[in-house]
Amino acid sequence: MSASTDYPSFLTPKVANENQSHDAAIVVFVLGGPGSGKGTQCQKIVEHFGFTHLGAGDLLQAEIDSGSENGAMIENFKKEGKIVPSEITVRLLQQAMQQSENKKFIIDGFPRNEENRAAFENIVGIEPEFVLFFECPEEVLTKRILNRNQGRVDDNVHTIPKRLKVYFEQTLPVIDHYSSKGKVQKVDAHRSVDEVFEGVKSIFCRLTK
């Protein structure tokens, strides 16, 4: 795989280690609307099944917080209201996978759209073992977001419907793609945390042996 010259060196994979890092890797994408409980359930999956939890947003923010030139580039995309190119996000995920001694990964909130999905499969060269999709009615998601009080400026009654609309418009094509391959495992997230995790456990016990 040749590296693009349009991106900084930290985004270029170490080819010698690439196959070694990915041959036995198990990747599970975790998707669901904001407020569906992905973060809480990912913590439980890590504790019970030994997966490493990767969040695309967390990796981008960590690069920004590092104060590096590369982080400044990512921050500029955000300041200008531009979406960070899929290749940059995927390279960060790939780098995190290569640097981990674990071979089992849950990737939270990714891919958000078809471009993300295609970039991940093309660059990393693997498909997910399955996609864990937390289904929850829009009115429940809205109530949870309003009640969680995380201090986000977009956690308000005016912006939440727009966020949910954009999320589902972009993400449902990803769900449809993997559904056509029999790779989507849906979980009813309109329940208590423990009840949801019972459903999650049965899926992981069955599909990640």
The larger pLDDT score, comparing residue 41 to residue 152, is at 41
Q: How far is CA 66 from the centre of its chain?
A: 21
34 is in an annotated binding site: no
Residues 6+ apart with CB under 8 A from 148: 35, 155
85 is in an annotated binding site: no
Q: Which two tokens stand for residue 56?
A: 């695309």
What is the pLDDT, as a whole number, of residue 17? 40
163 is in an annotated binding site: yes
Residues in the chain: 209
**94 confidence band (pLDDT: 50, 70, 90):** very high
Give the pTM. 0.81
Asked whether the beta carbons of 88 and 74 are under 8 A apart, the reply is yes
User: Tens digit of pLDDT for each residue in 23-64?
Assistant: 579 999 999 988 899 999 999 999 999 999 999 889 999 999
84 is in an annotated binding site: yes
122 is in an annotated binding site: no
117 is in an annotated binding site: no
110 is in an annotated binding site: yes
For the chain, the domains span 25-207
CA separation, residue 147 to residues 115, 143, 194 (Å): 32, 6, 19
The larger pLDDT score, comparing residue 166 to residue 187, is at 187
116 is in an annotated binding site: yes
Is 80 exceeded by the pLDDT of residue 82? no
**15 confidence band (pLDDT: 50, 70, 90):** very low
Report the distance separating Cα 91 and Cα 70, nearest Å: 12
What is the pLDDT, as a whole number, of residue 163? 76
Class for domain 25-207, per CATH? alpha beta
91 is in an annotated binding site: no
Listed range (67-81, 142-156, 157-171) with the worst mean pLDDT: 142-156
50 is in an annotated binding site: no
**19 confidence band (pLDDT: 50, 70, 90):** very low
125 is in an annotated binding site: no
83 is in an annotated binding site: yes
Cβ burial 19-32 (10 Å sphere, 16+ → b, else e): eebbeebbbbbbbb
